[in-house]
Amino acid sequence: MSAAPILEVRDLHTHFELSRGVVKAVDGVSFTLHRGEVLGLVGESGCGKSLTALSVLRLLPKGIARTVQGQILYDGQDLLTKTPREMREIRGRKISMILQDPQTSLNPVFSIGDQLREAIYRRTRAGKAAVMREAVEALRRVDIAAPEQRIGQFPHQMSGGMKQRVVGAIVMAGHPEVLIADEPTTALDVTIQLQYLKLLKAMQQETGMAMLFITHDFGVVARMCDRVAVMYAGRIVECGPVQQVFDHPSHPYTQALIASVPKMTGSAERLYTVEGQPPSLMDLPIGCRFAPRCPHAEQRCRDSYPGSFSAGDAHTADCWRLAAA
């Protein structure tokens, strides 16, 4: 792992500006990602994981969402200062993204080959024959059977698992240095989720690219990631090496998430549940955002937001209980 991160997000704030108020969907997110590393971004739906990823690529919904503060440093360059043309050169070639649903990634009126060859041509500017050979080989690498025949098919002629593999092939055709995978197994059957995760991990290890893996599944984090960042109500509340966070979760929200995972050993017990609801992103509390649901909350938790305190080697958590540790 290199000393300098390939991607560094500093104090990122991305808001939705609606007629009824401002939704602070991403409210002070910071993290680093090094070459060859897989960082898991975990949290319940609506906590800001996907919007963080879209902010990195500057693919926010036009007219209602914008990044109002922070820096997104790719290889030392702030992406927020890039022109739209410069960002088009970075997307796909330097930073790529796999979306949750392949139906939203593939154009239904173009063949698989058309879309894959476009990605290869943008990188290589090679001739048609060379681009076609590389496209067929790209499908073969993601375990698509009979790629010579499949390359002429359209998305509707393929299953969900095959389409997600094609998306992976298109993404990898750009030879990105950073891959953002936004819950890429959500649309897949359980029987093929494991196959796809193995494929992604193999591609990541083969190329040495960095990966930001967004998920709500701690089992996926254990299989895929080197470090994990836990997100709640627009902020990262805990971050550290996967094994250390699993063995010694330090933020009450992380502890609650891990406790709610079903255990496959021992006698069956009632699943742990987190009482209450996340706060409205239009009316965030002054103090810790998890305080209304936290069994350990004190008055200082409600009065002011805690800093990021050390919970171990390269392991931090935003919790006042660590201040006195």
Confirm if 310 and 323 have CB atoms less than 8 A apart.
no
**pLDDT tens, residue by residue, 95-127:** 999 987 777 789 999 999 999 999 899 888 899
The tokens of 223 are what? Answer: 């299989």
pLDDT at position 3: 67
In whole angstroms, give the CA distance from residue 44 to residue 74: 27
Structure-model confidence comparison of residues 324 and 151, the more confident one: 151
pLDDT at position 266: 67
pTM for this prediction: 0.91
**pLDDT tens, residue by residue, 226-280:** 999 999 999 999 999 999 999 999 999 999 999 888 777 766 677 778 888 899 9
Residue 91 scores a pLDDT above 60: yes
Helix residue ranges, H only, the chain? 49-57, 84-90, 112-124, 128-141, 147-150, 160-173, 190-207, 218-224, 242-247, 252-259, 299-303
Give percent of the chain above pLDDT 70.
98
Three-class SS state of 134 = helix
**pLDDT tens, residue by residue, 293-321:** 999 999 999 999 999 999 999 999 999 99
What value does the mean pLDDT of the chain take? 91
CA-wise closest residue to 298 among 260, 324, 272 = 324
